Amino acid sequence: MNRQPTTNNQQPTTNNQQPTTNNRQPTTDNQFETVIGLEVHAQLKTASKAFCGCENRYGAEPNTLVCPVCMSMPGILPVVNRRMVEMGILAALALGCRINRRCKFDRKNYFYPDLPKGYQISQYDQPLAEFGKLHISGEGFDREVTIVRAHLEEDAGKSFHQDDGTQLVDLNRCGVPLIEIVSGPDMRHPEEAAAYLNEIKTILQYIGVCDANMEKGELRCDANLSVRLKGAAELGVKTEVKNMNSFRGVVKALTFEMERQIAILEAGGVIEQATMLWDESKGEARPMRSKEESHDYRYFPEPDLIYLEVPEGWESEIRRGMPELPAPKRERFTADYSLREDIAAVLCAERPLADYFEAVTEYGVEPAAAANWITGEVLRIAKGKGISIEELPVDPEATALLLKRISEKVISASIAKEIFAEMVETGASADRIIESKGLKQISDEDELLNIVRKVLDDNQPMVEKYLAGKTKLFGAFMGQVMKATKGKANPQLVNEILRGELGKRE
Ligand SMILES: [Zn+2]
């Protein structure tokens, strides 16, 4: 993600929103501090739904993955999905939370067409887990965000508003298990919120409980945002921002809301508590009608479910299955492989990519060379083809062989790029392509010497200019030799020979 180099003390100005602010004191920009907390909903990728046996799958024909329980026919009884609880515990542990030995489910009552029961089974005052923390850092910030709680609940269905004013409902999503992760009001800039959300996404993907694709709604987030004078002890009046459907959308929506609040305060106004709906196409957030946001959920314990007990043994069994998480992996990559932090971050952004890197090094490739190649060529080609690292038809062993041929100077790095592209297309090994296409690097000194001499003889005027002091022409000679050898000449050797030969002609 591209992060702007802004921090909480460098907030974007609001000049374009307030024509009068041109005359304000120059200190105004630094006068305010933004406070952000996030509520993240993540779908747990269990095989079946939270309280019934229906398949939990995205993209099926509308209303085909339903049963009396998730359509809420009279007389139904929910049954808790054990995998949902296990995945919830794993996620909560990965977020540093304390698992409550005992928690309960509650009904959250509200009316909406995509919620046929008229209530959502959620957890209110006794959630699955509490007191977690997540460390985030980036350009200008380094922060520990508290996780107030993580609880389990079921998803609602989906409504589709038609152009003719009617509304269609798809209940396939009804009863899909969710974990809701609530942060403290600890973030100080929209970019921090995006970094926090991204870290949650990476963790959930690492532990395999959620694919966290925001476009598919697998990961969703609402934010609470307020602004206060710097140094103030009390929080300002907050607004809730909803309907952010991408990482970029989160930054844009929160920046919009932050600037809106600052502009109001600078003009001497007061912030009114509201729920703001982000409109991605218009690039603005506007308040929901107050009728729509009057929640009184009348939570009460779900009478059809008993307390959920999590014995210590179950928790520790789940903990034992925890893979290495992104943050410790990044640290290990910088420490053990001496990689730069940003390179380690790119490699560790996806577990399969990190695994691929480690597998290549296990075949004896220098970590720096492997990291360089994977963050460069491998990612470039995978992105260009729109495939994941797991779908890449070149396995780590084949990539390692190619990289060894570079270090052995059999091929140059630039030829290796061509070879790699062909490996991806054909599945052939590096050696076979080198052999069949005659791409072996020319490291024969006599052969190169002849080519260098011919290039110099053919370019006598250039040689004279070079000898007269235009030393920049050296690169042009190199280029000529490379052209004559179709890029196969060993560049280091050409460099040496060329210097020697030009020296002789002085
Ligand atoms: Zn069902």
Delimit the domains of the chain by residue range.
29-313, 324-437, 445-504
Question: Two tokens at 437?
Answer: 């296409």
Instruction: Look at residues 240, 188, 244 and name the one whose alpha carbon lies nearest to residue 219.
Output: 244
Which of the four pLDDT bands, split at 50, 70 and 90, describes residue 410? confident
From ligand 1's centre to the CA of 177, what distance in Å? 12
From ligand 1's centre to the CA of 33, what distance in Å? 46
- Give the residues across from 36 on adjacent strands: 187, 225
Find the mean pLDDT for residues 77-89.
Answer: 97
Q: How far apart are the C-alpha atoms of 346 and 4, rounded to whole Å? A: 17
From ligand 1's centre to the CA of 80, what distance in Å? 12
Instruction: Look at residues 417, 38, 419 and name the one whose alpha carbon lies nearest to residue 221.
Output: 38
pLDDT at res. 28: 46
CB-CB contact of 276 with 311 (8 Å): no
From ligand 1's centre to the CA of 205, what distance in Å? 25
From ligand 1's centre to the CA of 121, what distance in Å? 14
Instruction: Look at residues 211, 204, 226 and name the one whose alpha carbon lies nearest to residue 270.
Output: 226
CB-CB contact of 453 with 459 (8 Å): no
Find the mean pLDDT for residues 469-496.
Answer: 87
From ligand 1's centre to the CA of 53, what distance in Å? 6
pLDDT in tens, 458-474: 999 999 999 998 888 99
From ligand 1's centre to the CA of 76, what distance in Å? 10
From ligand 1's centre to the CA of 55, what distance in Å? 8
From ligand 1's centre to the CA of 50, what distance in Å? 9
**352: amino acid identity, one letter:** P
Write the DSSP symbol of residue 176. -
pLDDT over threshold 80, residue 443: no
- Angle at alpha carbon of residue 238, lines to 149 and 265, rounded to 5°: 150
- CA distances for 50 relative to 121, 163, 174, 273, 404, angstroms: 10, 33, 9, 34, 50
Q: Higher model confidence: residue 137 or residue 486?
A: 137
Share of the chain above pLDDT 90, in %: 72
From ligand 1's centre to the CA of 174, what distance in Å? 8
From ligand 1's centre to the CA of 498, what distance in Å? 76
Find the mean pLDDT for residues 157-173.
Answer: 92
CB-CB contact of 420 with 428 (8 Å): no
pLDDT at res. 21: 37
Q: Provide φ and ψ at 149, rounded to 5°.
A: -160, 160
pLDDT at res. 23: 38
From ligand 1's centre to the CA of 39, what distance in Å? 26
pLDDT over threshold 50, residue 258: yes
Query: Count of CB atoms within 10 A of residue 275's CB?
Result: 18
Average model confidence (pLDDT) across the chain:
90
From ligand 1's centre to the CA of 403, what distance in Å? 52
From ligand 1's centre to the CA of 200, what distance in Å? 28
Lowest-confidence region among 107-111, 289-293, 299-303, 413-417: 289-293
Q: Please list, in sequence order, all residues whose beta carbon lies within 8 angstroms of the beta carbon of residue 503, skipping any fewer than 6 positions away.
A: none
pLDDT in tens, 322-333: 999 999 999 999
From ligand 1's centre to the CA of 85, what distance in Å? 17
pLDDT over threshold 60, residue 233: yes
Lowest-confidence region among 12-16, 72-76, 479-483: 12-16
Instruction: Look at residues 354, 348, 344, 416 and name the one whose alpha carbon lies nearest to residue 381.
Output: 416
CB-CB contact of 462 with 476 (8 Å): yes
pLDDT at res. 19: 37
From ligand 1's centre to the CA of 363, what distance in Å? 48
pTM, to two decimals: 0.82
CB-CB contact of 257 with 32 (8 Å): no
pLDDT over threshold 70, residue 92: yes
Find the mean pLDDT for residues 151-180.
Answer: 95
Q: How far apart are the C-alpha atoms of 499 and 480, rounded to whole Å? A: 14
pLDDT over threshold 80, residue 16: no
From ligand 1's centre to the CA of 70, what distance in Å? 4
- CA distances for 504 relative to 30, 454, 470, 499, angstroms: 65, 14, 17, 9
Q: Please list, in sequence order, all residues whose beta carbon lies within 8 angstroms of the beta carbon of residue 147, skipping any fewer than 6 positions away.
A: 95, 96, 97, 131, 132, 133, 134, 181, 182, 183, 184
Find the mean pLDDT for residues 437-441.
Answer: 75
Task: Domain 445-504: give its CATH architecture.
Answer: Orthogonal Bundle (1.10)
Find the mean pLDDT for residues 165-181.
Answer: 96
Q: Please list, in sequence order, all residues whose beta carbon lies within 8 angstroms of the beta carbon of residue 38, skipping any fewer than 6 positions away.
A: 182, 183, 187, 193, 196, 197, 221, 222, 223, 224
pLDDT over threshold 70, residue 293: no
Q: Provide φ and ψ at 255, rounded to 5°.
A: -65, -40
- Identify the residue whose tokens are 């809701």: 180
The H-assigned helical ranges of 157-311 are 190-206, 247-266
CB-CB contact of 170 with 63 (8 Å): yes
Which of the four pLDDT bands, split at 50, 70 and 90, describes residue 29? low
pLDDT at res. 290: 61
Question: Two tokens at 186?
Answer: 């600890």
Find the mean pLDDT for residues 38-62.
Answer: 97
3-state secondary structure of 362: helix
pLDDT over threshold 60, residue 383: yes
pLDDT over threshold 50, residue 12: no
From ligand 1's centre to the CA of 244, what distance in Å? 28
From ligand 1's centre to the CA of 271, what distance in Å? 43
The H-assigned helical ranges of 108-206 are 190-206
From ligand 1's centre to the CA of 304, what distance in Å? 16
From ligand 1's centre to the CA of 56, what distance in Å? 9
3-state secondary structure of 314: helix
Q: How far apart are the C-alpha atoms of 162 and 168, rounded to whole Å? A: 7
From ligand 1's centre to the CA of 122, what distance in Å? 17
3-state secondary structure of 189: coil
From ligand 1's centre to the CA of 49, what distance in Å? 7
Which of the four pLDDT bands, split at 50, 70 and 90, describes residue 294? low
From ligand 1's centre to the CA of 209, what distance in Å? 20
pLDDT at res. 203: 98
From ligand 1's centre to the CA of 153, what distance in Å? 15
- Give the residues across from 502 on adjacent strands: none
Question: Two tokens at 394?
Answer: 């070149």
pLDDT at res. 223: 97
From ligand 1's centre to the CA of 213, what distance in Å? 23
3-state secondary structure of 404: helix
Which of the four pLDDT bands, split at 50, 70 and 90, describes residue 360? very high
From ligand 1's centre to the CA of 78, what distance in Å? 9
Instruction: Look at residues 117, 17, 107 and name the one whose alpha carbon lies nearest to residue 68.
Output: 117
Which of the four pLDDT bands, split at 50, 70 and 90, describes residue 201? very high
From ligand 1's centre to the CA of 173, what distance in Å? 10
